[in-house]
Amino acid sequence: MARLTLSEIWIYPIKSFAGIRLSKAKVKQKGLEFDRRMMLVDEKGRFITQREHSLMARFRLSMDKRELLVESLLDDSKMSLVIGLDQPARLPALSVTIWDDKVQAIELNPTYSNWFSTQLKMKCKLVYFPENNVRAVDPKYAMNNDQVSLADGYPFLIIGQSTLDNLNSKLTSRVEMNRFRPNFVFTGGEPHEEDRWKNFSIGPNRFQGVKLCARCALPTVDPQTGVKGHEPIATLATYRKQGNKILFGQNLLAIDYDEVSEGDEIELEA
């Protein structure tokens, strides 16, 4: 059997914005440290994503120590914003909605909210989801009162490089892995072999595969331009559709909360 190796680690500090690749990351119950702990909400407190606002793809994010740099590429001015990543002091809570969940979050700073409102030309707030706030994963798939941050439904997502390579072999124009927004990418193995993983470890951390990831239209947004198309969902529908869902990648829960590093070996339990 080919060696399975963790080749990429990604976090998405602000939900639905570009990801940041890391060489190592801390595993926490809600997801990797800093992953999707912030998001934009509209005036009604409902979450905002690239599904409806594809120009959210036109921001670039980077991290320097405990600060997040957000750069807008929406015009030639290249406006930027610096956000501290340390958990803020307790502030008044807001009730916000993400899918069918209502959770308590806090507005980090009205200045941040105004910056995003100006850039996107719509009223919005940047909110933060504290580590001790509650948002449970679907109890049908939970192991032990598992929690999730502001990700769609589960704290971790893994996709094999061979899975993407197989898709690209069927496309006229290849797509990059960032269309699918995984936390973990691995090399080795067969296309979609992660579908079958139940219990496995990445370095010192044990994980459990709990549910294949049903894809929405977000992968049809070009991460570089923010332009929507039909691919790769149209092609995936020809061979990855089960019922009315298109499946790509595996959602995970963590059993251990240590650290993962690029190059870690992945070992499957019998």
**Count of structural domains, the chain:** 1
- pLDDT attached to residue 1: 61
CA distance 182 to 157: 5
> Which residues is 242 bridged to in the sheet?
245
Per residue in 65-77, pLDDT tens? 889 999 999 987 7
If pLDDT is split at 50, 70 and 90, which confidence band does 144 have?
confident
Sequence-distant (6+) residues with CB within 8 A of 146 are 29, 136, 137, 155, 253
Per residue in 194-249, pLDDT tens? 999 999 999 999 999 999 999 999 999 999 999 999 999 999 999 999 999 999 99
Q: Compute the C-alpha angle 195/197/203, nearest 5°.
A: 125
Q: Which domain holds residue 160?
A: 5-268
CA distance 15 to 34: 11
Q: What's the pTM?
A: 0.96
CA distance 192 to 164: 9
Per residue in 98-107, pLDDT tens? 999 999 999 9
Q: Return the closest-CA partner of residue 164 out of 232, 215, 214, 242.
A: 232
Domain with residue 263: its CATH number is 2.40.33.20
Is the pLDDT at 2 greater than 90, yes or no?
A: no
